[in-house]
Amino acid sequence: MRRGLVALSLFALMVLAGCLSPTTAGWGVGDGEVKVEFTTDSASATSTLGDEKSSFDELSPIGCNDTRSLDNGGNPIKFTGYMAASHFYETHDQVYGAMNLDLAVTTSVAIESMSMKEAMNVDGEQIPRVQLKNWNLPLYPETGAGNIDLDEVDMDSSSKWFVLGLIPTSENIQYGMQALGEWHQPVQIEGYLLEPMVVLIDNDIERTITDGHLASWHEVNDNCEMNIGQSNRESVYLMVTSIKLEDSVVTSSGDSSDEWVLGDVPFLGRSGFIMFFLIFGLGGAVTMFIFSKIAVAKGASHSMEILVGKKAMAAVSRVKSDIKQARSSGMKSSKQRNADARKDASVEAKKEGVKPAKRETADSVSLTGFDLDSALQSGPSESTTSEFGSKSSSVVATTEAKNIESQVTSIPRSVSQQSSPVTSTVSTAQSSVISNTDSAPSKRSHFSSSISGESKPQQQTKKKVVKKRATKKVQQPEVEPWSGNEQETDNSSEEEEEFSDFSF
């Protein structure tokens, strides 16, 4: 797991390598900006990197003339070597001593002096490593442990160093300085030195406040490259006109064919890096998603195979294949047929100007095989019955019960007149039960009766439930014992009459 995270982190660093850059000052006269007006004859600078706005006028650029001596104007001076450290300024802290042209510096670099070819071949233990503690003053960095301590460089040192406070001469140079954010690379910076400035301070004392060109200190070779004196370290302000890297350049105009651009990546280039990110970044993410989805599906299939068995899985596969074949042959599912039917019905209703029927909700189809809307719209299929357990009676009066009642009441009066007082009592009781049933006020219908009465014709088979309950509760066949008792009572009464008749 840890190895995977490390690999992912390295890949992320490779992806972001061309997109990250240090923050530096802007170009202009607003807060946190620097602007320079430059020609080879004169220059001026405006800076807002300090506590307040500072302006520097009548600056004299010093270049390399035809006699390879330093003088006003001329060609730019070259500083070539291996860059070991750099620092970018968004602001300058005057509390720690930043002053004057320090406020116009946007970048400082430490370069070990050597040819460009030698700088490209630096490798391994030869790489100069500088540990920075702070770099508040552009020309005087404070360094610590490392194989190079810039504070300790003197005439006894084996290496020679440039410490440059870079002042941009154009907007493109200012933004191109971000290329120096990558340490340990060969570099050649071209520009112009500045003559020392003498100004008046308190009590009219003249004082030199800038480090710049001094004829006794600075020399150039035949290629206009700066030489380093006996101190093995040169710290100067430099008005930058161009920067040359190993495979790109930064110019004042920005019109070079191999101009450095923010986001440029070695070997791939800017456009190549974007294509690499799109193809291998987004494409790889999509590919990994597809593979992970396939892996999850295989894991689920394996778990299901363990749970239900191979035969059940084979059956499921056959069902899926049958469904696909049915769909390919044009067969529709029940949901599709119902949806088509509702659509056709709504279209016909719109053509006829009739409002379409309300679509079934989840509540209306909660009972399987039962259409609640049709049941509510249809009328009762038979006469209303009394509810079981009503106040007047505990008998549900159905149509069959009423038929039995009519048969019982149709017995000839002659039979009832010949019956004994016991028979009359029984008949009276029976008639009272029936009359109570008939005279009971109409009650609210039982839910079973409403369903049976309001359902569709194909669902009227549910009436059997009502008939079954009514038959159990009425128990009308008990009328027959009553009629038998009447006959027995009649026979007993006749025998009593015969017994009481002593005429024979």
Beta strand 219-220 with 206-208 is unpaired
Whether residues 341 and 437 share a domain: the answer is: no
Q: Pinpoint the alpha helices (H) of 86-176.
A: 116-120, 171-176
The DSSP code sequence of 275-291 is HHIIIIIIHHHHHHHHH
Residues 60 and 101: beta-carbon distance below 8 Å: no
Whether residues 52 and 112 share a domain: the answer is: yes
For 218-240, the pLDDT digits (tens) are 788 999 999 988 889 999 999 99
For 72-90, the pLDDT digits (tens) are 888 999 999 999 999 999 9
Whether residues 259 and 175 share a domain: the answer is: yes
- Cα separation, 201 vs 163, in Å, equals 27
Residues 54 and 211: beta-carbon distance below 8 Å: no
Out of 208, 235, 264, a domain closes at 264
Given this model, what pLDDT does residue 225 score?
93
Which residue ranges in the chain fall short of pLDDT 70?
A: 1-21, 196-217, 264-270, 354-398, 408-504
For 305-353, the pLDDT digits (tens) are 888 888 888 888 888 888 888 878 877 777 888 888 888 888 888 877 7
Whether residues 325 and 397 share a domain: the answer is: no
CA 11 to the chain's CA centroid: 22
- Cα separation, 122 vs 116, in Å, equals 10
Residues 213 and 70: beta-carbon distance below 8 Å: yes
Given this model, what pLDDT does residue 191 score?
95
Whether residues 235 and 91 share a domain: the answer is: yes
Whether residues 226 and 206 share a domain: the answer is: yes
Out of 231, 264, 297, a domain closes at 264
Residues 45 and 55: beta-carbon distance below 8 Å: yes
- How many separate domains does the chain show? 4
Give percent above pLDDT 90 in the chain.
Answer: 29
Out of 217, 237, 264, a domain closes at 264
Q: Does residue 8 form part of some domain?
A: no
Q: Does residue 303 form part of some domain?
A: yes
Given this model, what pLDDT does residue 464 score?
47
For 448-467, the pLDDT digits (tens) are 444 444 444 444 444 444 44
Whether residues 231 and 105 share a domain: the answer is: yes
Other CB atoms within 10 A of residue 298 CB: 10
pTM for this prediction: 0.54
Domain coverage including residue 387: 372-499
Whether residues 255 and 400 share a domain: the answer is: no
Whether residues 302 and 434 share a domain: the answer is: no
**If you search the block for the tokens 């510096």, which residue do you land on?**
105
CB-based contacts of 263, cutoff 8 Å, min separation 6: 18, 19, 270, 273
Q: Does residue 2 form part of some domain?
A: no
Given this model, what pLDDT does residue 440 score?
44
CB-based contacts of 414, cutoff 8 Å, min separation 6: none
Given this model, what pLDDT does residue 245 score?
94
Whether residues 351 and 464 share a domain: the answer is: no
Give residue 200's identity as a one-letter amino acid code. L
Q: Does residue 401 form part of some domain?
A: yes
Residues 49 and 30: beta-carbon distance below 8 Å: no
Q: Does residue 273 form part of some domain?
A: no
- Cα separation, 377 vs 367, in Å, equals 17
Given this model, what pLDDT does residue 216 score?
52
- Cα separation, 365 vs 396, in Å, equals 30
Whether residues 309 and 377 share a domain: the answer is: no
CA 442 to the chain's CA centroid: 64
For 183-196, the pLDDT digits (tens) are 999 999 999 998 76
Whether residues 176 and 320 share a domain: the answer is: no
- Distance in angstroms between the alpha carbons of the first and the last residue of the chain: 125
Given this model, what pLDDT does residue 387 score?
47
Residues 346 and 356: beta-carbon distance below 8 Å: yes
Q: What is the 3-state secondary structure (H, E, C) of 357-380?
A: CCCCCCCCCCCCCCCHHHHHHCCC
- Cα separation, 139 vs 100, in Å, equals 12
